A and B are shown apart, each in its own frame.
Chain A
Amino acid sequence: MTKNDFLSIVPLFILTSSAILIMFSISVKRNHKLIYAITSLSLAGDFIYLMVTISGNSWVIEPLFIIDGFGVFNTGLILLTALAVTMVSYAYFEQREERKEEYYILLILATLGAAVLVISKHFVSLFLGLEILSVSLYSMIAYLRKRERSDEAGIKYLIMAAFSSAFLLFGMALVYATTGTMEFSGIATYLESVKDVPILLLAGFGLMVVGVGFKLSVVPFHMWAADVYEGAPAPVTAFIATVSKGGIVALLVRFFTAVHGYNYPSLVGSFTVIAIASMFVGNFLALRQNNVKRILAYSSTAHMGYLLVAFLSGDSLGVEAVSFYLVAYFVTSLGAFGIIATLSDKDRDAEMLEDYKGLLWRRPWTAALLSAMLLSLAGIPLTAGFVGKFYIIAAGVSTHHWLLVVMLAVNSVIGLYYYIKIIAIMFEQQEGEAHPVGRLNPAAYIVSGVTMAILALLLVWFGIYPEGLMTLIKNLVTLN
């Protein structure tokens, strides 16, 4: 390993070592504040390191990693998201009795897994990253053991994730059997050399789609999403919705571009079906929920469908659109789940629609922030979500995917209904006195509040003046 090799994966080392540091620190003394500080400092430090050493060149560490603009962009995004989740987590876990310190180790490890995913160019690193992410998530989801739905969610995720990993592994094995390589570029070379894609290879790709589809919770692999979102602690749900999905999307883009997947109608066709089905099923299921976390779970299925539209556009505009949409979606989801976390009390999360009744008049700022987040999810102007949706539609129209963009438009309208429903409930007048919610000292919420405020500002900033982010993405994200 050369010096440059080492320097280019320092971000991964920082994460690993801070996880170890936290472990030591816990063995000496349990101190939530200290652990929280270490976690946030290491995530922030990691991000700053990434910014400082950023360069236009890509660096390859054979055979596993490629650190290029796209990888750096996504790593940065993941780190910042993890940081935001940490910020929200403190107040959330502080008011709960259970041991909270180990949570941060898991959080950092899951972040590490996602960071590995987005820079991998080999099946081995892909699988390693995915498993680090998944295994950490099993325990994070079931972290609050005493809650009634925690175990259910954890076990559900465990079984489904193990199942999908098996599919993914089998798919990889089939691909390896036909192509003789596990490197993305090697597979691409093989594909160019053959006229017809062997059926075995196609089957391998198909099995891999199952594995990836599960992680993204796209239809028909979406069954776990609502239960897991509901059962997991709100900050963890935020993490699943953002980092875990974003990492997979980035990987998917990298793999597809590397093997020129856009040239194979069977692959594109299956993703088209998945995209359309995800949009419709996700939105229709969300319509019927009265639990905010479940609504957001199904809405995320629909949003993954939207993302696939940009992904299927394939050209550089498509990749830009995916990146921009990911940023917008991350900001929005973090904000929404962050607010749920902030509103939650000792025993349960504020997840039922009744909990939000008249929120605007009780806590105007919180309600305004949540409204902004929901409007962004719905893709209304002045928010990042609007520009993201515009970007996707532009990408779709420029490559003439008319069916997909029309479906997207139709679904935006369906989606609007349930986002507006939540807003309407917040605006309703409350009858009777609200029962006071048991909460800790307000100081614990300052950090969460500030985080939410920053997210909301970003949301509006990207909505009104997206040029800066667009330029950043355009400069960094050039995949060939």
Chain B
Amino acid sequence: MILLVLIIVLMAGGLLAWVAEKWNPLLTRWISLTGTLLDFGIVLFIWLNDNTTVNPSDSSWLQTIDLPWIPRFGIGFHLALDGLSLLMLLLTFFLGILSVLTSWKEIQYRVGFFHFNLLWVLAGITGVFLTMDLFLFYFFWEVMLIPMYFLIGIWGHENRQYAAYKFFIFTQASGLLMLLAILGVYFIHGNLTGVYTFDYFQLLGTEFTPEVARWLMLGFLAAFIVKLPVVPFHTWLPDAHTEAPTAGSLILAGLLLKTGAYGLIRFIIPLFPGAAHEIAPWAMLFGIIGILYGAVLAFAQTDLKRLVAYTSVSHMGFVILGVFAFNEVALQGVVMQMITHGISTGALFILAGSLYERIHTRDITQMGGFWTKVPFMGTIGLVFAMASLGLPGLGNFIAEFMILVGAWQANGVLTIFATIGLVAATAYSLRIVQKVFLGKEERVRTLVDLSLREKLIMVPLVIVIVWLGLFPQPVLNTAKRTITGLFPHSTSLSVVKEGMKTKGGAHD
């Protein structure tokens, strides 16, 4: 029941925030903040009380709720929470709070409708991370699109309409392919067993012929690799990230991309283990291409937000590399990468947003020498640039290191190329610091350092990224149950194939 509350709080909060604008825009902001804080509190409470790591015989599902919705098609309102979803929800609500805070001053136009959209995107994302019914999954997958479209299209920068269109059409097109694949799975399972259902747990064991499995998997894959994104399906991302308002970029980079990675882990691997193995080398290759291509393009950008957007392409290359390495270490790394990338890239977008508020440009050729004027901001910028390049001691290092260790076991040659990506990351990350904070001042400006509100946003981010870098074990423990559920027997590649066929954990 508590899972339903999570979604209802956001949806009701969104409506309330919209209505509250009539009386006072400030009330709108406080309502949104309360909503996200409440959800964050609930999830944090569940996490702190989670003792599955202590008691491994427990089911990996911490909470479930299963209500009939459209029995005609065997569709249920089925939500369930395990370690992976829990971590993703923590990230969702954490970034959700920050996105409300960062919009506090930035958004002055149609405040109510903005917060309505913001909370509904978060509600859609929450649904995606929780649902265990394929129809419901598609439903939430689409629900998070519309508000995001509005966030970009109404409150974005100059070229917002184009970016919003592109984002919407890319994700819709790939989503529809996934819908076809979902229906394929549904009917094949129904024909085999006589039970027509969209329930994830019942569909898990379905046997497909290799040919069919390949096509169905491609349908799912289409949706996830566009969202992730994998080169060459990434072209919506730089536009959308650049044009979106700060909160939009934060949610896009921090959360929406993660739904793609989550889908790979939750659906592709358990549903189509055989087909996923078949394409693994290709997927890893595309991961490498993404890592290098994203890094090179990031280095070439002059628009600060666009630069950060391309680093996302590069970092997400690691995710697909890790997922298709098919071992526990790599997948643990992927989960870490999802979280740390959300934190570090989110922070860089917030920083770009605060700079834009002050100097009204995102062009880094017009920046330079800001360190002396805004030392606090500079320090924060340096921390997250270091995080982005994978400096030991910060969370991203753990994530990328684990992915590389795992990928090495699967494919040595490709991993060597992936490692080059780290070098490229150093180049573009240092370029951010150099162009923005160091060097000669282009133009004399008056700059104010971070306000209390902005410090309140940035400091927790710094704390989290350092904590993840120094003491990642709680996160790894939480994710462990889900990931070992994918590989019950062993982590070595030869036995993985058999292991994959068993279900992803016991269920009531």
Interface residues of B in 178-222 (CB under 8 A from A): 179-180, 183-184, 186-187
Say whether B146 faces chain A, with CB atoms less than 8 Å apart.
yes
Say whether B1 faces chain A, with CB atoms less than 8 Å apart.
no
A416 with B169: CB separation less than 8 A: yes
A427 with B150: CB separation less than 8 A: yes
A397 with B184: CB separation less than 8 A: yes
Question: What are the 6 A-B residue pairs with the smallest beta carbon separation, nearest first?
Answer: A409-B176, A413-B173, A397-B183, A381-B142, A470-B72, A381-B139
List of B residues within 8 angstroms of A382 by Cβ: 143
Could you jot down 26 A-B contacts, CB within 8 Å? A380-B145, A380-B146, A381-B143, A382-B143, A386-B142, A390-B179, A393-B179, A393-B180, A394-B186, A397-B180, A397-B183, A398-B187, A405-B180, A409-B177, A409-B179, A412-B176, A416-B172, A417-B169, A424-B153, A424-B161, A424-B165, A465-B69, A466-B70, A467-B70, A467-B71, A471-B72
Residue from A381, A413, A427, A474 in contact with B153 in the complex, judged by beta carbons closer than 8 Å: A427
Interface residues of A in 411-463 (CB under 8 A from B): 412-413, 416-417, 420, 424, 427
Interface residues of B in 57-93 (CB under 8 A from A): 69-73
Among B73, B145, B154: residue with most chain A CB under 10 A:
B73
List of B residues within 8 angstroms of A48 by Cβ: none
Question: What does the 1/0 interface line of A280-293 toward B look like (CB < 8 Å)?
Answer: 00000000000000
Say whether B384 faces chain A, with CB atoms less than 8 Å apart.
no
Q: Is the interface of A mostly helix, strand, loop or mixed?
A: helix
Interface residues of B in 251-278 (CB under 8 A from A): none
Question: What does the 1/0 interface line of A468-480 toward B look like (CB < 8 Å)?
Answer: 0011001000000
Closest to B179 in A: A393
- B113 to chain A minimum Cβ distance, whole angstroms, is 9
Say whether B164 faces chain A, with CB atoms less than 8 Å apart.
yes
B168 with A420: CB separation less than 8 A: yes
Closest to A387 in B: B70
B73 with A394: CB separation less than 8 A: yes
Interface residues of A in 387-410 (CB under 8 A from B): 390, 393-394, 397-398, 405-406, 409-410
List of A residues within 8 angstroms of B146 by Cβ: 375, 380
List of A residues within 8 angstroms of B169 by Cβ: 413, 416-417
Q: A-side interface residues toward B, CB under 8 Å?
A: 375, 380-382, 386, 390, 393-394, 397-398, 405-406, 409-410, 412-413, 416-417, 420, 424, 427, 465-467, 470-471, 474
Among A405, A406, A409: residue with most chain B CB under 10 A:
A409
List of A residues within 8 angstroms of B428 by Cβ: none
List of A residues within 8 angstroms of B161 by Cβ: 424
- A198 to chain B minimum Cβ distance, whole angstroms, is 37
- B135 to chain A minimum Cβ distance, whole angstroms, is 8
Q: B-side interface residues toward A, CB under 8 Å?
A: 69-73, 135, 138-139, 142-143, 145-146, 149-150, 153-154, 161, 164-165, 168-169, 172-173, 176-177, 179-180, 183-184, 186-187
A467 with B187: CB separation less than 8 A: no
Q: A424-B164, A467-B72 are in contact. Are A380 and B173 (CB under 8 A)?
A: no
Q: How far is the CA of A427 from the CA of B164 in the complex (A)?
A: 13
Q: How far is the CA of A145 from the CA of B302 in the complex (A)?
A: 61
Q: How far is the CA of A416 from the CA of B167 in the complex (A)?
A: 12
A380 with B72: CB separation less than 8 A: no
Residue from B73, B165, B186 in contact with A417 in the complex, judged by beta carbons closer than 8 Å: B165
Q: How far is the CA of A417 from the CA of B146 in the complex (A)?
A: 13
Closest to A463 in B: B139
B172 with A412: CB separation less than 8 A: yes
B168 with A416: CB separation less than 8 A: yes
Q: How far is the CA of A380 from the CA of B172 in the complex (A)?
A: 9
Q: How far is the CA of A424 from the CA of B149 in the complex (A)?
A: 10
Q: How far is the CA of A89 from the CA of B140 in the complex (A)?
A: 38
List of B residues within 8 angstroms of A409 by Cβ: 173, 176-177, 179-180
Among A406, A417, A424, A470: residue with most chain B CB under 10 A:
A424
Closest to A427 in B: B154
Q: How far is the CA of A420 from the CA of B164 in the complex (A)?
A: 10
- B215 to chain A minimum Cβ distance, whole angstroms, is 9
Q: How far is the CA of A416 from the CA of B164 in the complex (A)?
A: 12
Q: How far is the CA of A254 from the CA of B146 in the complex (A)?
A: 38
A394 with B143: CB separation less than 8 A: no
With A417-B169, A424-B161 given, can you name 4 additional A-B contacts, CB distance below 8 Å? Answer: A406-B180, A409-B180, A427-B150, A467-B72
- A46 to chain B minimum Cβ distance, whole angstroms, is 29
Closest to A470 in B: B72
Residue from B69, B138, B184 in contact with A467 in the complex, judged by beta carbons closer than 8 Å: B69
Q: How far is the CA of A466 from the CA of B168 in the complex (A)?
A: 26
Q: How far is the CA of A412 from the CA of B135 in the complex (A)?
A: 18
List of A residues within 8 angstroms of B71 by Cβ: 467
Closest to A466 in B: B70
- A183 to chain B minimum Cβ distance, whole angstroms, is 34
Q: How far is the CA of A467 from the CA of B139 in the complex (A)?
A: 16
- B165 to chain A minimum Cβ distance, whole angstroms, is 7
Q: How far is the CA of A405 from the CA of B145 in the complex (A)?
A: 22
List of A residues within 8 angstroms of B172 by Cβ: 412-413, 416
Q: How far is the CA of A471 from the CA of B70 in the complex (A)?
A: 10
Among B146, B169, B186: residue with most chain A CB under 10 A:
B146
- A298 to chain B minimum Cβ distance, whole angstroms, is 18
Q: A375-B146, A382-B143 are in contact. Are A470 and B164 (CB under 8 A)?
A: no
A413 with B154: CB separation less than 8 A: no
Q: How far is the CA of A424 from the CA of B168 in the complex (A)?
A: 12
B70 with A380: CB separation less than 8 A: no
Q: How far is the CA of A381 from the CA of B171 in the complex (A)?
A: 14
B154 with A470: CB separation less than 8 A: no
List of A residues within 8 angstroms of B150 by Cβ: 427
List of B residues within 8 angstroms of A397 by Cβ: 180, 183-184, 186-187
List of B residues within 8 angstroms of A424 by Cβ: 153, 161, 164-165
Closest to A469 in B: B72
List of B residues within 8 angstroms of A420 by Cβ: 149, 165, 168
List of B residues within 8 angstroms of A471 by Cβ: 72
Q: How far is the CA of A405 from the CA of B181 in the complex (A)?
A: 11
List of A residues within 8 angstroms of B184 by Cβ: 397
Q: How far is the CA of A412 from the CA of B73 in the complex (A)?
A: 22
- A402 to chain B minimum Cβ distance, whole angstroms, is 8
A393 with B142: CB separation less than 8 A: no
Q: How far is the CA of A202 from the CA of B8 in the complex (A)?
A: 58
- B72 to chain A minimum Cβ distance, whole angstroms, is 4
